[in-house]
Amino acid sequence: MNKLPMPDAITPKPSAGSRRLTARGLVCKILTEAETGQAYLDQILEKHLSRTRLPERDKALVTAIANGVTRRRSRLDAELMRHFRRNFDGARPLLKNILRSALFQLRYLDRVPSYAVVNEAVSLARTQFGEGLARLCNAVLRSALREPYDWPAPERLLAAGDFQRLAQALSYPEWLLRRWHELYGSAEMLALADAFNQIPELTIRLTRPELHHETVLAELAAANVQGRAIDGLPHFYHVPSQHHIAALESFKAGAFTMQDASAGLVAHLAAPAPGETIIDLCAAPGGKALHLAELAPNARVIAVDQSPNRLRLVQEAAQRLHCEIELIAADARTFSGPAADLVLVDAPCSGLGVLGKRSDLRWRRRPEDIPQLVALQKEILQNAATLLKPGGRLIYSTCTTEPAENQGVATWFLEQYPNFNLQPAQQFIPARFCDAAGFVATFPHRHGVDGSFAAHLKKLS
C-alpha cells in the first residue's frame, strides 16, 4: 500500500512530545464532534484550529489526519472490526476515533514509527477511559500491526458483483458506487473513486496584475510553495496543500486567492464585459462573483445570497481583493433586481464533484437528496430568467458530477424556455473541459480539477 507523504515540516520522532499528543487528541475530538453533531468537518476544523495555539505544522497534521480518517472511514472500520472482538459499531465514538486515527497513521502516513502511534493512542485512551479500554486499544492496534488485512483488488470485487465489500475497500456509500457504475462503467467508476480519495491539490488564482505576478510566485516559492500553471486558464496555478498559505503577505494583500480551476472556467464561460450589470444569485462565499468583477472593470456586480452570515464572507473577500460589489441578502427563488446583462446561478447541489475536498460529504449525502435539489435548481433558474435583458446570458453551474442536476436541469430549462438557446462552451473555454453537447463538464480523474458542470444560456428576446 502506498503511504501518503506527510507535510514537509511534520517529522514525528519516536520520543512523542506532549504537543504532538495534543494534536492527535484534538484530531479525535474533532472527528467525534463531526460524527455526532450537525456541523461539517471543515467548519469544525476551522473552529478548533482558529482557537488552538498549536504551531502551523501541527495544524497541518490535524487537518491531514482528520480528512484522511474521514475519507477512509469505512475501510478503516472494516479492518478494525476484524481485531476489535466486540461490537465495534456500538463502541464509544471517541474510542472509535482514537483507533481510526491510529490505524490511519499506521496504514497511510510515512515517517511515523508504529510503536509511537500505538503508544500515543493507548495513552489517549487511558486518559479518556481508564486502564481497561487502554489495554483494549493496545491489543487491537498491535493485532492490526501483526495481521494487516490483505484487501482484494477492487477490479476483483467488481467482477464478482460484491458492491458491499467494494464500498468498504474504496470507502464510499454503496449506493454512490452503484450509481457511478451505472453512469460511467467499471473503469471510469474506479478512476473517479480513486481520484476523490487522494489529497486534493490547492488551486490559487493570481489577481491584480499591478501587484506583479512574478513577484507573487517568487514569494510563494520562497515559502516552499511551488505553483504549476494550468494550461488554458490564465492566472490559475496548482500548489501543494499548505495550511500556512493564507498567512502570506501576498494573500493578505489580495494578490492571490484560493479558487479551484473549475470555478474559474465558469467566469470565463460567462465572458463578462466592462460596464455590464451582473447578478450572482447564489454568491457566497464569493469566489465567482469576485472573479467576474475582476474580468469586467466598472461592471455593476450584485452578489445575492440567502444567508447574511455567508454574505459576510463575500464582504471580507471583496475587501481583501479590493473589489467593489453590492451585497443583498435575499432568496434566489424570489429576488427581484435590476435588468441584468448576465445572471449567474451557481446552484445549491449535491456537491458530488468536490468529494475530495469535502471529505465528510460522501457520508452525509443520500440518493433522495438529488430530486429535491433538482426541484430547487429549477425554481432558481425560473426566477433568473426573469431578471435578464433581451440578449442577456444566464450561466448555470454546479459542483457536482450528477447528470440529473447538470445536463438534466439545463435540458429541462431549454425545453421550458424556447427564447433561450445554448451557446457552445467551446467558444469561450478550452474544448478539453467541454462535452460534445457544448456544456462544461469536468472530472478530477480526467482534468485534474474538481468535478463540475456549467451551461451558457443566451436569451434571444
Distances (CA, A) of 280 to 266, 328, 353, 371, 426: 12, 10, 21, 23, 22
Q: Is 349 a catalytic residue?
A: no
Q: Across 217-293, where does the E strand assignment appear?
A: 228-229, 236-239, 256-258, 277-280
Q: How far apart are CA 319 and CA 310, in angstroms?
A: 15
Binning the chain into helix, strand and coil, the percentages to the nearest 5 are 50, 15, 35
Q: Which amino acid is residue 316, in one-letter code? A: E
- Which neighbouring-strand residues pair with 305? 329
Per DSSP, the three-state class of 422 is strand
**Taking the CB of residue 275, how many other CB atoms lie within 10 A of it?**
11
* 225 alpha-carbon distance from chain centroid: 20
Catalytic residue among 28, 282, 349, 399: 399
45-50-55-57 Cα dihedral, nearest 10 degrees: 30
From CA 304, how far away is CA 333, in angstroms rounded? Answer: 11
What's the angle, vertex CA 232, arms to CA 228 and CA 238, rounded to 5?
Answer: 25
Amino acid identity at 177:
L
User: Alpha-carbon distance 352 to 366, whole Å?
Assistant: 11
Pull the grid cell for residue 181. Answer: 457504475
State the CB neighbour count (10 A cutoff) for residue 13. Answer: 11
C-alpha–C-alpha distance, residues 220 and 19, integer Å: 28
Extract the C-alpha cell encoding 272. 463578462
**Any idea which residues carry the catalytic annotation?**
399
